[in-house]
Amino acid sequence: MASPLASTGGAEVLVASNRGPVSYEVRAADPAGALHVKRGGGGLVSGLSAIGPDANAVWVCAALGDGDREAVRRAAGGRLPAADTGGQQVRMLDIDADVFSDAYNGVANSVLWFVHHMLYQTPLEPVFDAEFRRRWASYQAYNRAFAEALAEEAGEGAVVVVQDYHLALAPRMLRRLRPDLRIGHFSHTPWAPPDYFRLLPDDIAAELLSGILGADHAAFLTRRWADAFVDCCHAVLGPGIPSSSDTRIGVHGLGADADFLRKRAHEPDVDERMRALREEIGGADRRTIVRVDRTELSKNIVRGLLAYRQLLDDHPEWRERVVHVAFAYPSRQDLAVYRDYTAEVQRVADEINSAYGTAGWTPVVLHVKDDFARSLAAYRLADVALVNPIRDGMNLVAKEIPVVSDEGCALVLSREAGAYEELGEDAVVVNPYDIGGTAEALARALAMPAGERAERCKRLAAAATALPPAAWFLEQLGALGG
């Protein structure tokens, strides 16, 4: 066992995640080599702000690209300038680019993501060969870099909340370095059931579970994923684990940030995009089926399009009277399978438009360039929200659209999304693989009487905002006595 380190930093609360709250771009055109900083949003960012500027908190994250690496080189001890981070203390780790790529693309996104979302086409994949073992060594090194940085930054008895599948090994590594710390791990993904999790080589399955069990508290977005984790522990580590370990299992269902969303959704840039979108939709009485996703394999965008096509076949009365507004924003384009999937989304959308479109009606309005203001505009215009993932940790879009939609929307929701646990009762629920069933659900949602739609939407919004990001984050700290 590694020898415990004495505390050298003084942080009382630490967050660790692969993606940090800021990212940098080198502006090629700028001769002075100026860095352009972009601040991200999301649950963790608003969660961390809940503990206030006086709290001594440090966020440890990885440099993801060249801009980030350059920023770390310019920053003393990897601590980013406060002016860039809105005052937050952020330590960014410049992990060797090849090690990072093997850990992030080669293991986290190509293996762990695929296992937890059950995305493999199993006749040919996965293949756990020597190349995989080489990448696994990088995943270990990447987790070690986080554990060492956290051990350095944390004050005596500090609370550390480690986020997600990128960092499954870090809790145990950190525990070895700093037994005094209170450590939590939070999984933002689903957790695979044992039969699927055990596609992984046995030693690696055990290492991942034991890594998380190095934490005092292992938390998930829903009870279903927490139960699957416990089932995997039983199957891989033995029937007494985790009950005989010191790790408590928790569930904290991250909700939507109603105050922020409602305010942001009524700013002038959103109004402007609503006007543009209305023009693209055409026809004042046309209904909208809205979806907004990263172009992520698990989001099931292609089957969503196929179900929409089926709707137009089975219910021709909806032709010219509905538009599918689909925003599919770029994600993980370093992986060939994501690039292929993106092309397939575009191809199927084009096919529907050329087969069914008329002079005054484009059945699918597809946008692929990320634009948050335009997403909010679509949320406001939504009559029906389509959220049909194959499998999803939570799916915040399912929670956000009912909060923002102007007239109240109907929600067509996959039973495989974490959000189903909280929203299922007022949604029109679908099996995400069933195209005919999804088409019928869309028809039902479109035909839902306005009064029922508004009532359901009100209840959906209430359930969606039950645990806003700040409260969700404080719950994680509270579970560790922080």
Which residues in this chain contact ligand F6P in the complex, by CB under 6 A?
19, 164, 188-189, 331-332, 393
3-state secondary structure of 57: strand
Which of 351, 7, 4 is closest to 154 using CA atoms? 7
The DSSP line for 377-435 is HHHHH-SEEEE--SSBS--HHHHHHHHH-SS--EEEEETTBTTHHHHGGGSEEE-TT-H
- Minimum separation from the CB atom of position 436 to ligand F6P (A): 29
Tokens of 76: 């003393």
> Which residue number has the CB closest to ligand F6P?
188
Nearer to ligand F6P, 105 or 362 (CB): 105
Nearer to ligand F6P, 19 or 264 (CB): 19
Nearer to ligand F6P, 331 or 353 (CB): 331
- Minimum separation from the CB atom of position 296 to ligand F6P (A): 8
**How far is Cα 22 from Cα 39, in angstroms, rounded to an integer?**
4
**How far is Cα 430 from Cα 384, in angstroms, rounded to an integer?**
14
Nearer to ligand F6P, 255 or 393 (CB): 393
Nearer to ligand F6P, 164 or 400 (CB): 164
- Minimum separation from the CB atom of position 396 to ligand F6P (A): 8
Cross-strand partners of 59 = 15, 90
- Minimum separation from the CB atom of position 139 to ligand F6P (A): 14
- Minimum separation from the CB atom of position 393 to ligand F6P (A): 5
- Minimum separation from the CB atom of position 343 to ligand F6P (A): 19
Nearer to ligand F6P, 189 or 310 (CB): 189
Nearer to ligand F6P, 85 or 310 (CB): 85
Whether residue 143 contacts residue 175, with contact meaning beta carbons closer than 8 Å, is answered with: no
289: left (phi over 0), alpha (psi -120 to 50) or beta: beta
**Kind of pairing, strands 22-26 and 35-39?**
antiparallel
3-state secondary structure of 61: strand
Tokens of 142: 């990447």
- Minimum separation from the CB atom of position 209 to ligand F6P (A): 19
Count how many Cα atoms sit within 13 Å of the Cα of residue 297 in the half-sphere of its side chain: 20
